[in-house]
Chains A and B, each alone.
Chain A
Amino acid sequence: MKDIYALYRHSLAGLRVMIGAILLLGVAYPLLVTGISQVSMPWHANGSLITSTGAHTTSSSHAVGSQLLGQVDDNPKLFFNRPSAAGDGYDPTSSYGSNLGPNDPRLVKAIKAVQRTIAAREGVPVSAIPADAVTSSGSGLDPAISPAYADLQVARVAKTNGLSEATVRRLVAQNTHGRALGVLGAAYVNVLTLNIAVEHAAD
């Protein structure tokens, strides 16, 4: 009984402290961070949106997407993304990976199917297809592909757009990001910015 009364007293003190915590940490702190971010870094804070010419924008009505989010692309004239397990593909309202295990027969089947599709589309043997091309990312929103997968698609994109392979290769290089600080993470090619550049060059 004494313990229960003590717990009650400590809880009342806890309630008073918690109200203070909510005002400071749940209201003042996020609003201050939002305020500073919106004033000093509005493009980043609103989702790194870009227009069809690749220009930065903070208005969703002018944007074709976010530089940070991959999107569904099934246009044979453009570079293809990785498979995606987010909703019906690249759906930011249901971000996730497949969560299939490393020996899961369903994953084996899915990988084989994607390999066949890519081999037919690019006219290459299955052995030439890099791993990122046939696997879905953790977020299902991966904005990037490996330089190897981009390289694999250069011939097709050049042909379908009437561009030289050298031109397309140059565009790939311009949209390739090396490892951060030279050692962090992995090199990648941003697919959305690359495709915008391809469309621009083909016009």
Chain B
Amino acid sequence: MSATTAAVLELLLLVAALAVSTPLLGRYLAHVYTSPRHLKVERAAYRIMRVDPDADQHWRSYAMSVLGFSMVGLLIVYAVARLQLHLPQSLGFAGFGPAGAWNTAVSFVSNTNWQWYSGEAAAGYLLQATGLTVQNFVSAAVGMAVAAALARGLARSRNGGRLGNFWTDLVRGTVRVLLPIAFVTALVFVAGGMIENWNAFHTVTTLGGGHQTITGGPVASQESIKLLGTNGGGFYNANSAHPFENPNAFINLVQVYLILLVPFAMAWAFGLIVKDKRQGGAIVATMAVLATAAVSFMTWAEMSGAGTATRLAGAAMEGKETRFGEAASAMFGSATTLTSTGAVNSMHESFTAPGGGIAMFNMMLGEVAPGGVGSGLYGMLMLAIVTVFLCGLMVGRTPEYLGKKIGQHEIVLVALYILTTPTLVLLGAAVAVTASSGLAGLSVGGPHGLSEALYAVTSAANNNGSAFAGITSGTTFWNTLLGLLMLLGRFLPIVFVLALAGRFATARHQPAGAGTLPTHRPLFVALLTGVALVVVGLTYVPALALGPIAESLS
């Protein structure tokens, strides 16, 4: 079988698996985020933690809970990273410096999982499990909670801006959704060859008589939630390229599937929560169109192998694992940048110039196809509102989405949301390439060096976490800058989304009229796809032209 046929069949297998799971998990998610009933164990936990699970929170209160919870998480990861040498299971690794600990704490709390450090040389098991694995779960659950709150806001009518209860959303998302799936897949991963132990690193005498260190760690238990929660932080430096983190091509496909599983299902759940399944279907379809195009284009780029070094070698295998080959590497590379994951099974910096450019483009889309767990859905809904607004302008009517008028207040909030990330990316890139301490981190000059910097700030502000990893980012300058971008890129948009959700929940539900743009038809899918592409195009084309496009053409 030719490599191309195999690549197409692998993609079809992935699509089929997602087509089966999206409606099933979607229905379950809709139930989780709307059911008034608590499980017995949840009720007990709420009592012990002294939170009221039935308080219907105003959007401000909801946002305060998100921020307060995340701030506590940030402080705890910061403290564990700083103090790890004095804690058990540190493997003797020193505590992180202030800038490094700040970067890592923000990184994992904001669902970014950018890593300036090398896991096997810096992070002990206690930090990995109680700091990082925990944030892998809860930062994902926070994103899902915010998306659910927005969906409920759209579904409600005239209720004074109340969105539901954050603590309930957080606990249910974790206990009813993420934990059971992560638990089962962790065991599947071990069966496939992934390690799960707390062994000290030990040395073996190799076949050739040399020595090799065999690393250990509770890898599988972190790995499953790393992908399921679109987190992406590797247990080891090489992330999912490392054989202990991704032992074979079957596990690799499971990883890609896990990355996409919840984001697509959240969009389906959205349709059910707003009581119009077709609306969720339209969002899922738009995500699928963009994702399929990105995967196909990147696969083509990697299989055709442009670049002087690539041509000389004969194929784009630099930075890729033999067991995956070009196609399965490109599929993973696309899935990880189309969502807020950022795990890598191959080194994006060594991708062909168009392949690396698509990775950047995927992130610049705002990670909406299908995007991070939760964040992908609310990002796509912001674009949907822009779409109805533009169409409303064209026909001269007040636009509405799902029966909610899009007035001045609403569109201002949406505009703030849409503008936040590009502002952070472009300002961040400008600062990075004008400061000498920014330039000092780049491994190379010219268009590829600019791509390295642009990729880093894009990845941070969009909470992705992947890198053109030749960059040396473990410096005070880069750790501080990227930490700021990650923090603002995560929590500013969340506040705008919740404020908007609050307005929707306050507004009256209007019946659709003759002038209402139907938002469930193929026409709307096409318009929304177009708007997503135009927004990213207008914002980023100049920057892309100087980086990956210049390199492709040179």
| A contacts, CB < 8 Å to B | 3, 6-22, 24-27, 29-30, 32-34, 36-38, 41, 44-49, 52, 60, 63-66, 68-69, 71-75, 78, 82, 86, 90-104, 107-108, 111-112, 115, 129-132, 134-146, 177, 179-186, 188, 192, 195-196, 199
Q: Are B69 and A139 in contact (CB under 8 A)?
A: no
Are B129's CB and A27's CB within 8 A? Answer: yes
For window 273-329 of B, CB contacts with A under 8 Å fall at 306-310, 312-329
Q: Hey, which chain B residues are within 8 Å of A112, CB to CB?
A: 312
Complex contact A188–B322 (CB within 8 A)? yes
A96 and B248 form a contact (CB under 8 A):
no
Whether A184 lies near B313 (C-beta < 8 A) is no
CB of B347, distance to nearest CB on chain A (Å) = 4
Interface check B167, CB cutoff 8 A = yes
Q: Is A33 a contact partner of B196 (Cβ separation < 8 A)?
A: yes
Contact A185 B207 (CB under 8 A): no
Name the residue of chain B whose CB is nearest to the CB of A32. Answer: B183
What residues of chain A lie closer than 8 Å to B243, measured between beta carbons? 66, 68-69, 139, 141-143
Please state if B214 and A138 are interface contacts (CB–CB under 8 Å). Answer: no
Q: Is B410 part of the binding interface, using a Cβ–Cβ cutoff of 8 Å?
A: no
Q: Which of B32-40, B130-138, B366-374, B419-427 contacts A (4 or more CB under 8 A)?
A: B130-138
B6 to A, closest residue via Cβ: A183
CB distance from B256 to the nearest CB of A (A): 10
Min CB distance B50 to A, Å, is 6
B195 engages A45 (CB within 8 Å): yes
Q: Are B344 and A138 in contact (CB under 8 A)?
A: yes
Chain B interfacial residues counted at CB < 8 A: 127
Contact across chains for A100 and B350 when beta carbons are under 8 A apart: yes
Chain A residues with CB under 8 Å of B205's CB are: 64
Can you list 5 A-B pairs with a CB-CB distance of less than 8 A?
Answer: A10-B64, A18-B72, A46-B195, A94-B118, A103-B554
The residue from B193, B198, B469 contacting A48, defined by CB atoms under 8 A apart: B193
B444, A104: Cβ atoms closer than 8 Å: yes
Q: How far is the CA of A179 from the CA of B5 in the complex (A)?
A: 12
Q: Which of A71, A86, A112, A184 has the most CB of B within 10 A?
A: A184
Measured in the bound complex, the distance between the Cα atoms of B323 and A143 in whole Å is: 9
Contact bitstring B185-229, A, C-beta under 8 A = 1, else 0:
011001111111111011111111010111110101110000000
Asked if A98 contacts B215 (CB within 8 A), the reply is no
Give me 7 other A-B pairs in contact (C-beta within 8 A), A96-B118, A99-B350, A183-B10 excluded: A8-B68, A13-B50, A14-B65, A25-B137, A30-B133, A34-B198, A72-B206
| A185 in contact with B328 given A95-B120, A137-B320 (CB within 8 Å) | yes
Chain B's nearest CB lies how many Å from the CB of A91?
7
B346 within 8 A of A: yes
| Shortest Cβ gap from A99 to chain B (Å) | 4
Whether B395 sits at the interface, judged by CB under 8 Å, is no
**Complex Cα spacing A196 to B250, Å:** 25
How many angstroms between the C-alpha atoms of A141 and B183 in the bound complex?
A: 27
Task: Select which of A46, A91, A143, A186 is within 8 A of B3 by beta carbon.
Answer: A186
Closest to B242 in A: A139
Which B residues touch A36, using CB under 8 A?
187
Known contacts A25-B174, A37-B187, A99-B468: A10-B120 contact under CB 8 Å: no
A14 to B3, CA, bound (A): 50
Select one of A6, A16, A48, A90 contacting B212, CB under 8 A.
Answer: A90
